[in-house]
Amino acid sequence: MPIEFYAAYEGYQEKQFEQTKIMRFASFRVAESMAGSKAIGSIERFWPMLDDKDNKKEIEPMTKDRYDAILQRHNLKIK
C-alpha cells in the first residue's frame, strides 16, 4: 500500500538525517581542533544543512474506493 511505503520511507529519511547530523557535528569538532574554533566559525557556515520538514509531501489516506480502483487497474482479485 502506498501509505505504508511513505511511512517506511519517512522513517528511512529521518534515520539518514540523524546520521548526517552526527557526521556533521563530528566533522565540525575535528576541524575545530585542527584549525581552531575562530578559523572554522559556526557549524552552519562549516556545513549548512537544508531542513526539508517544510517540503514534506502530504498524502491522502487510503480509501476503499481508491483501493478497489488499484485492484481493478491491475486486474487483481483478492479473495
Residue 38 lies in a domain: yes
Range of the domain at 26: 2-73
Inside any domain, residue 78: no
Is residue 79 domain-resident?
A: no
What pLDDT is recorded for position 53? 60
Distance from C-alpha of 31 to C-alpha of 52, rounded to nearest angstrom = 26
CA distance 40 to 28: 8
- Predicted pLDDT at 31: 92
How many CB atoms are located within 10 Å of the residue 32 CB? 16
Residue 20 lies in a domain: yes
- Note the pLDDT tens digit of each residue in 14-73: 898 899 999 999 999 999 999 887 888 898 989 888 766 656 667 777 888 988 888 888
Q: Number of folded domains in the chain?
A: 1
Q: Is residue 15 part of a domain?
A: yes
Q: From 2, 7, 55, 47, select the one nearest 23 (Cα to Cα).
A: 47
pTM of whole model > 0.75? no
Q: Give CA–CA dist 29/27, Å, rounded.
A: 5
